[in-house]
Amino acid sequence: MPQRLVVTGASGYIGARLVERALRRGCEVVVLGSRPAGANDAAIAATPWRLGEPPRVTALANASAVVHLAHDWASDRLDGTGPGNVNLNGAETLARMAREAGVRRFVFASTTSARPEALNAYGKIKFALEERLRALPNSEGGLFCARIGLVYGGPERAQYGLMAKLASLPLLPMIGLDREVQPIHLDEVCDGLLALALDPPAGRQTVVLAGPTPMTFGHWLRTLRRARHGRRLQLIPMPIGFALVACDMTKAIPFLPSVERERVLGLAGAAPMASAEDLAALGLTLRDPADALTNCRPARRRLIAECRAMLRYVAGRRLRSPGAIIRLARVARRDPAFRRALPRLALRWPGLLRLIEPIRPSMQHGLSRRLHLAAMVAESLPDEPPQLGLGVLTKEMLLEAGALPFRLAFARVYA
Amino acid sequence: MSDGTGPEFIVIGSGPAGVSAAIPLVEAGRRVLMIDGAQPSRPPDASMPPDQPWRRMLGATLTALRPDDELSPKLRTPVALDVVGGFQRWAEIAADRFLPLGAMARGGLSQLWGGFVAELDQDDLQGWPVTADELAPSYRVVTERIGISGSIDDDMAPFYGTSGPVLPALPLGPTASALLSRYAAGKPYRDFALGLARNAILTVARGERQACNLSLGCLWGCARGAIYDARQDLATLRRHPNFQLRDGAIATRITHEPDGWAVATTDGAPPLRAPRLLIAAGPLGTLRLAVPLLGLDKIVLRLLNSPVMAIPLLVPRRLGKPAPREGYTLAQLGFRLRYAQPPTHYVTGGLYETTALPPSSFAARLPLGRRAGTAAFRALSPALAIASVYFPGHCSTNFITADLSGDQVRVGVRGDVSDDFAAVTRLVRRRLGAIWRRLGAFALPGTTIAVAGTDAHLGGIFPMGLADAHGTSRYGELNAAPGIHLVDGSVLPSISAKPTTLTIMANADRIGRRLAGLA
């Protein structure tokens, strides 16, 4: 019999993906509150519900687990850490009713910033909530707090959406660059939550779902930009006070996207938590973010544009074969040589690639290697290249000679 | 077997050696079971849609779309990566300065061979317990069977042998023609001869095999079956009720039993039993099976190969001429050069035209940008040729180390060449260089000596006629394991500069014939 899962916050960044992955594993999913956008309605039962209200008992019937992801940010802002914060009572009510309805497991999405001394309300509230839930009777063995790190990947929403936006800029004034963060892919978070809900490891009430080797926030932003855009990111450290003032200003200026103080404070207060043992107990092996991000949309789009330009350059003509571009891109996604973006001008005028190639081809040189693969794809196409006379050869050699000084100067840049 | 009794012979391996030994046995009515490590699920490679050449050239899953590793283009095709990769994963041979080529596929390495064939003469057979006269009938049978084309009356014909019928030659490409006509018009050479190459390719259709249509696609496997491939013989064998093929069965362990031998396989079936066992897994595959069988622990064996050198040539007369639109990428011309007095001190080789070779593998070596490098190759290729030069096996001093600890089998191969090899290559390059110039061709920079083993002309591991524990009788029967015959290249007592496949097949035929006649 399929296991039934009750999910709150199913329309959120993590929730939507969690529901998708749970369904793929053959679970039945009951959504409390709004359902994920674009989800297949037939597969998901949804019940109207708001955080703080008691759910209908029928919604909890026969469920194996509740995964509580919903969080009311407005209440954090308005009510702070006081008793009026709807997050506090909401989670407790839900957990209590789930227990009464015979649901065996309650998985609570917490955060790696859950600490009593956290700078932002979010961290403080999540910590207080963990404490409250643990204090419920019979919570041992049935309650799981998942402290989730910095989540990336998937749709560009929530924190990841903000960081994706930041990483699209070449120059970024930023706070907390030396703070340590623990990135984890959205799919990995979902798999961890599902493991807790369906088949939890024994003896772990609080698990850390976060990258096992912390990296500085600055390094993370650079990794993100390199993986998504193949380019470098220049970071300018900014004092926190200045950033908070800037946040307040974004709210005052119309048409500018506003940035919450909460997010800024959350970053400034980040501190790493050990996660390796928890991940191992859950059977999770995290991918290197640089590998996991090769599939994100900007990276894919960039690769396609670059593969098209490289094919055009090596073939010396426009190729009427989308298949060729796709074949090259398929290999490119796996080959680290392609992670470095080509200059934008070369995408427009592929002939410019001549100016940045190394003098002597080498498979160790990133660009040389990419062009070799492109040449292999180009020569495997059925249309015959035109016969090359000595005139064309002479022209090519003259161009080659003209490009020499540029190549001496620039080839190293694209190694 | 169809009549309900077990096989009389088990043949391990379905390559040229295995099928050549099995054919005389099956034709004599003996019950033969052939096992082969090929994965039956492997997609057929001959049925590629012609409008999608990339499938053939890069592989349906793009296995061959990878950076240049300086191996011969032949070894970078999807078929080669599949056939050889499967073997290397299975055999786990630790190789040092050596490329361990073997096959884990139906038809063995004949799926990717170059088709070049030659018979050994009495001088080549020095030190063998077999004479040229004894081999001649088998050379004839095999030549008739696989179909060989070339010339029977040029300067190279006697060198390649005259035992069997030879089909009309393929038409020569323009570059090869230019060289050969100069050769024919000039004064004869004392130590050098040039003529048409002799290739196992059909110029006349035969059965299900079609004649070569000069489509220039040889490198990626001949979809017409014009080039000989042991799978063709395998198809013939399978029509006999007394022959059975077991695919996907990799032999793991061979043990002695009172009434013969038992072979355990990876497919989980009970061990296969027969009074006699023929091993034709290719020299390195056979080695891998023989090490635990013979208990070759902490032992060093020799391994012969035929070192090979590639020389790019430019024929200035052909510059600016159009590239041929049809042809083949097997050797067009063959040559031999005697470089010292002893009869085995000669090199031999083939001349290949380059128009059908992938420009990328040349452009990757030119000190030019990719666009200019490709243009240079394409503009020059009508005037380019590549000479491959094979040296005799006594120039190689490779050795094999074998180690057994419990069930662990560790086999290592280390490649090396004789002390005088550097001097020999210099001499050969100089003399060939002078000859090319007289023929109107110039050696370009970029001559390379391939890593040992690339030639796949291996032998000398379990030599016929050697009395030691790892020696074999004149019928390839292991001295230390009577009833087991090695029928592939591993038993060749010496390796000449000539290609080995035809001789391996003739020798396997000779052994098969002998076993067919035994009671």
Length of chain B, please?
A: 519
- Whether residue B57 and residue A375 make contact (CB cut-off 8 A), yes or no, is no
pLDDT at residue B49, as a whole number? 59
Give the B window 343-372 contacts with A, CB below 8 Å: 358-360, 363-372
If you average pLDDT over residues B236-243, what whole number do you get?
Answer: 96
Token digits of residue A16: 């939507």
At residue B276, the 3 state secondary structure works out as strand
DSSP string across B55-78: HHHH-TT-TT-S---SS-GGGGSH
Contact A90/A72 with Cβ under 8 angstroms? yes
- Å between A377 CA and nearest CA of chain B: 7
pLDDT band at B42, cuts 50/70/90?
low
- Å between A390 CA and nearest CA of chain B: 6
- Residues of chain B above pLDDT 70, percent: 97
User: Choosing among B51, B62, B317, which should be mutated to test the A contact, i.e. which has the most A CBs within 10 A?
Assistant: B62
- Å between A407 CA and nearest CA of chain B: 9
If you average pLDDT over residues A269-291, what whole number do you get?
Answer: 90
Give the A window 288-347 contacts with B, CB below 8 Å: 313-314, 316, 323-324, 327-328, 330-331
If you average pLDDT over residues B484-511, what whole number do you get?
Answer: 98
Q: What is the pLDDT of residues A57-97, one digit of tens each?
A: 888 888 999 999 999 888 887 877 777 888 888 999 999 99
CA dist B70 to A340, B67, B135, B350, Å? 25, 9, 38, 20
CA dist B460 to B62, B127, B160, B287, B302, Å? 37, 11, 22, 11, 7
If you average pLDDT over residues A236-258, what whole number do you get?
Answer: 77
pLDDT at residue A386, as a whole number? 67
SS (H, E, C) B138-171: HHHHHHHHHCCECCCCCCCHHHHCCCCCCECCCC
pLDDT at residue A256, as a whole number? 63
Nearest to A271 by CA among A115, A151, A126: A115
pLDDT at residue A412, as a whole number? 83
pLDDT tops 90 at residue B397: yes
pLDDT tops 80 at residue A21: yes
Nearest to A373 by CA among A304, A298, A314, A291: A314
CA distance B52 to A327: 13
- Whether residue B379 and residue A389 make contact (CB cut-off 8 A), yes or no, is yes
Q: In this complex, which of B53, B373, B379 lies closest to A380 when CB atoms are compared? A: B53
Q: In this complex, which of B319, B366, B379 lies closest to A388 when CB atoms are compared? A: B379
- How would you classify the pairing of strands B9-12 and B276-279? parallel
- Å between B64 CA and nearest CA of chain A: 9
pLDDT at residue B51, as a whole number? 66
pLDDT at residue B95, as a whole number? 95
Q: Does B71 touch chain A (CB under 8 A)?
A: no
- Å between B59 CA and nearest CA of chain A: 10
Round the average pLDDT of chain A to a whole number and report it.
88
Q: Does A409 touch chain B (CB under 8 A)?
A: no
Quick one: closest CA in A to B60, which residue? A327
Which residues on B lie below 8 Å from A363 (Cβ)? 67-69, 364
pLDDT tops 90 at residue A303: yes
Q: Does B374 touch chain A (CB under 8 A)?
A: yes
pLDDT tops 60 at residue B41: no
Nearest to B250 by CA among B276, B275, B285: B285
Quick one: closest CA in B to A354, which residue? B369
CA distance A272 to A53: 34
CA distance B92 to B108: 17
Quick one: closest CA in B to A365, which residue? B67
> pTM value?
0.85
Q: In this complex, which of B57, B69, B323 lies closest to A380 when CB atoms are compared? A: B57
- Å between A248 CA and nearest CA of chain B: 53
- Whether residue B53 and residue A314 make contact (CB cut-off 8 A), yes or no, is no
- Whether residue B58 and residue A376 make contact (CB cut-off 8 A), yes or no, is yes
Q: In this complex, which of A373, A380, A403 lies closest to B369 when CB atoms are compared? A: A403
- Top pLDDT among B39 and B221 is at B221
A57 backbone dihedrals φ, ψ, rounded to 5°: -65, -35
Q: Does A414 touch chain B (CB under 8 A)?
A: no
Quick one: closest CA in A to B379, which residue? A388
Nearest to A281 by CA among A378, A206, A383: A206
pLDDT at residue B40, as a whole number? 59
pLDDT at residue A40, as a whole number? 65
Q: In this complex, which of B53, B68, B379 lies closest to A393 when CB atoms are compared? A: B379
pLDDT tops 90 at residue B460: yes
Q: In this complex, which of B51, B64, B360 lies closest to A372 when CB atoms are compared? A: B360
- Å between B383 CA and nearest CA of chain A: 12
* Chains A & B: contacts with CB separation below 8 Å: 107
Window from A290-299, A307-316, B348-357 with minimum mean pLDDT: A290-299
pLDDT tops 60 at residue B408: yes
Round the average pLDDT of chain B to a whole number and report it.
93
- Whether residue B68 and residue A363 make contact (CB cut-off 8 A), yes or no, is yes
Contact B160/B153 with Cβ under 8 angstroms? no
User: Choosing among A363, A388, A407, A410, which should be mutated to test the B contact, i.e. which has the most B CBs within 10 A?
Assistant: A388
Q: Does B131 touch chain A (CB under 8 A)?
A: no
pLDDT tops 60 at residue B519: no
- Whether residue A388 and residue B378 make contact (CB cut-off 8 A), yes or no, is yes
pLDDT band at B2, cuts 50/70/90?
very low
- Whether residue A380 and residue B68 make contact (CB cut-off 8 A), yes or no, is no
- Whether residue B371 and residue A396 make contact (CB cut-off 8 A), yes or no, is yes
Instruction: Output the CA torsion sign for B431, B434, B439, B444.
Output: positive
Q: Does A392 touch chain B (CB under 8 A)?
A: yes
pLDDT at residue B267, as a whole number? 82
pLDDT tops 60 at residue A2: yes
pLDDT at residue B1, as a whole number? 47
CA distance B73 to B57: 11
pLDDT at residue B248, as a whole number? 86
Quick one: closest CA in A to B217, which residue? A380
pLDDT at residue B86, as a whole number? 87
Q: What is the pLDDT of residues B254-291, one digit of tens each?
A: 999 998 999 999 888 899 999 999 999 999 999 999 99
pLDDT tops 50 at residue B384: yes
If you average pLDDT over residues B437-460, what whole number do you get?
Answer: 94
Q: Does A390 touch chain B (CB under 8 A)?
A: yes
If you average pLDDT over residues A267-279, what whole number do you get?
Answer: 85
Token digits of residue B379: 């503009």
Q: Does A355 touch chain B (CB under 8 A)?
A: no
ipTM of the complex: 0.89
Quick one: closest CA in A to B49, which residue? A382
pLDDT band at B149, cuts 50/70/90?
very high
Q: Does A391 touch chain B (CB under 8 A)?
A: no
User: Choosing among B55, B65, B318, which should be mutated to test the A contact, i.e. which has the most A CBs within 10 A?
Assistant: B65
Q: Does A382 touch chain B (CB under 8 A)?
A: yes
pLDDT at residue A384, as a whole number? 67
pLDDT tops 80 at residue A38: no
pLDDT tops 90 at residue A306: yes
Which residues on B lie below 8 Å from A408 (Cβ)? none
- Å between B39 CA and nearest CA of chain A: 25
Token digits of residue A412: 């190293």
Quick one: closest CA in B to A384, which residue? B325
pLDDT tops 80 at residue A105: yes
